[in-house]
Amino acid sequence: MDTIHCSNKSIQSFYMQTKVKEPIYIGGVPTYDLYLEKYSDERYLYINGVHAKALLVGTHYQMIEPILFEYFDEICQLFDGNADIVVDNESYLPVSIQVNGKYVLMIGHVGTTFTMNTELGLDDIRHIRTRFENVFKLKIVPLLKKVGLYG
Amino acid sequence: MARWELHKFRVEKNNNILNFETEIIIPEFYKVITVVYDGKQLIVRGSELKQDYVTTYEIKSKLESLLDSPLIKELSKHSRKQEYRRSFSLTKIDVYPEGTLANLRYGYNDKYLEFGSVLVIPPYKDWDTLCKVPLTVETNAASNVKIFYELLTEICRLAVRIKTDVNTVNEILKILLQKLVFKEI
């Protein structure tokens, strides 16, 4: 699962897992399973805990940082206050959303049964779905692919 | 007519045999009326029913229409088995002075989709409301999160049909209540 933390409609931090066919060398070790992070109050991208800029071809990663964070901001625009979102990393759809510490959406999965409890209407959930799909599939993933951080 | 409360409503077709059961309570008289359709006739316990062929046919065709819901067809896409069962029922029925809330549960074979609470009696005047109020949704027909979201979308896409289903429930109850003879009332 990936996580996103928003504050006042801006991205604060995120954690996103990706897999790559061409390895990234981290500490000289070819790495295929990546986790991309942004920490709160920092405007830098980290890859597997290492400042992206410090890696080989780090300037490429550095170039996409502001655009990547803007894309995450687009997701955060949906939520007022502090929002903590857990995202399914296959569909890039939220499985839980907490706003100001209170769950407004929670999708549980036990065995073959999905259960959703929410304070939102299905129209709102559809709107959230569209935004997440558009931002992840049409913006974030293609951007990451461009610099070899996805697929 | 005395005040009545709905406590059960369930229709299903098992291996092509239609079954139906509803339970209505008249609180004033502590009276429980159960109506059962066993595929051939309406059987009433707790009160007399003026039976006629037309009523039975009318109820049967309305029950069939509930089982013809596109939501059930949607569920069928997620079942690999040949059809042996369809069902529609109201669960978690809560009766308030202002109206009756319930979950709508649609089933196909062993797959189900249940959502609520929906205002069933009287139905929402504006069915856009269905997708504006918070609903709990439960299903075993989704194999992943994406499919679960697709089922949520289907609920809203089919809101008009769901309205028709709820209206059908009300029509069935109306027919039954009109035909039931409450001798004590």
The complex scores an ipTM of 0.92
pLDDT band at B1; cut points 50, 70, 90 = low
CB-based contact (8 Å) between A126 and chain B? yes
CB-based contact (8 Å) between A118 and chain B? yes
Q: What's residue B181's pLDDT?
A: 65
What residue spans define the domains of chain A?
2-146
How far apart CA B32 and CA B10 sit, in angstroms, is 16
Determine the average pLDDT of the residues in B50-60. 85
Q: What's residue B182's pLDDT?
A: 57
Q: Is the Cβ–Cβ distance between A14 and A72 less than 8 Å?
A: yes
Peptide linkage before A91 cis (omega within 30 of 0)? no
Contacts of B153 in chain A (CB under 8 A): 122, 126, 129
Backbone angles phi, psi at B178, to 5 degrees: -70, -35
How far apart CA A136 and CA B108 sit, in angstroms, is 34
Q: Is the Cβ–Cβ distance between B85 and B13 less than 8 Å?
A: yes
Radius of gyration of chain A (CA): 16
How far apart CA A69 and CA A90 sit, in angstroms, is 20
Residue pLDDT, tens place only, A75-105:
999 999 999 999 999 999 999 999 999 999 9
Q: What's residue A82's pLDDT?
A: 97
Closest Cα to residue B107, out of B57, B66, B167? B66
Contact B132/A95, CB-based, under 8 Å? no
Residue pLDDT, tens place only, B7-49:
999 999 999 999 999 999 988 888 899 999 988 888 888 777 7
Determine the average pLDDT of the residues in A132-146. 97
Q: Which of B152, B153, B157, B158 is the best residue to mutate to test the A interface, defined by the most A CB atoms within 10 Å of its own CB?
A: B152
What is the distance in angstroms between the Cα of B49 and the nearest Cα belonging to chain A? Answer: 40
More confident call, A33 vs A112: A33
Q: At what angle do helices A58-76 and A122-135 cross, to 10 degrees?
A: 170
Determine the average pLDDT of the residues in A32-58. 93
Angle at B148 between CA B143 and CA B149, to 5 degrees: 145
- The pTM for the full model equals 0.92
pLDDT band at B184; cut points 50, 70, 90 = very low
Q: Is the Cβ–Cβ distance between A73 and A11 less than 8 Å?
A: yes
Q: At what angle do helices B145-157 and A122-135 cross, to 10 degrees?
A: 130
Torsion-angle region of residue B172: left (phi > 0), alpha (psi -120 to 50) or beta? Answer: alpha
